Each structure stands twice: as structure tokens, then as C-alpha cells.
């Protein structure tokens, strides 16, 4: 039975300082952050705080409004956009890091 850990196996399988990004993990983390920011802006908009930032989000996001339905729609929109964008960035990084 082997006593090596997963961290040891990952370190040994990497040829040098360049490591491969996990696109799903990075995209998921970015989507969670985007969802949290949209919820905060929805709450801030409902209470009347940071109205400038709320107005900007209303301009930039098609479905966002400082209401419950608008916040949920904005969260869904932000999660999808952020997931696709960060997944693409991680994928491109992995393509260029292999060269």
C-alpha cells in the first residue's frame, strides 16, 4: 500500500514551475464571487446605499434590477457570463503554458 499523498503525486507529475489550471474550479470560484457581488448590490439597491454602483450594474447587465426578481435574474446572468469567461481564460492559459 502506497503512503504518498495526492499533493506529492501532483508535485511529482509536474515537470517544472508551470502548473496547469483547473478550468472548472477557477470558473466555479469566479461564478461564486460574481453571485455574491450581485446579491450585495441587489441588497444595497433595495436599501438605497451605493446607488451609483447599482445604476452601473443596471446599465451593464440586461436583467439586473434592485428587486428580488431582478437580483435573482442578475445573479443568474452574472454566474453564466463569469463562468464562461473564466473557463475560457483558464483554458487559454493551459494551451499557452504547454508551449
Is residue 15 in some structural domain? no
* pLDDT tens profile 29-46: 999 999 999 999 889 888
Is residue 11 in some structural domain? no
Is residue 77 in some structural domain? yes
**Structural domain of residue 53, as residue ranges?**
21-97
Residues 10 and 71: their CA atoms lie apart, in Å, by 40
pTM: 0.73
Is residue 2 in some structural domain? no
Is residue 4 in some structural domain? no
Q: Report the chain's mean pLDDT, rounded to a whole number.
A: 85
Is residue 79 in some structural domain? yes
* pLDDT tens profile 54-69: 888 888 888 888 889 9
Number of domains observed in the structure of the chain: 1
Amino acid at each position: 500500500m502506497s503512503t504518498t499523498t495526492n499533493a506529492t503525486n501532483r508535485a511529482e507529475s509536474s515537470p517544472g514551475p508551470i502548473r496547469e489550471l483547473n478550468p472548472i474550479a477557477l470558473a466555479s470560484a469566479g461564478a461564486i464571487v460574481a453571485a455574491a457581488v450581485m446579491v450585495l448590490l441587489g441588497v444595497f439597491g433595495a436599501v438605497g446605499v451605493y446607488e451609483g454602483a447599482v445604476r452601473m450594474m443596471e446599465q451593464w447587465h440586461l436583467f439586473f434590477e434592485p428587486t428580488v426578481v431582478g437580483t435573482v435574474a442578475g445573479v443568474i446572468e452574472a454566474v453564466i457570463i463569469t463562468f464562461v469567461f473564466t473557463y475560457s481564460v483558464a483554458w487559454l492559459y493551459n494551451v499557452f503554458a504547454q508551449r
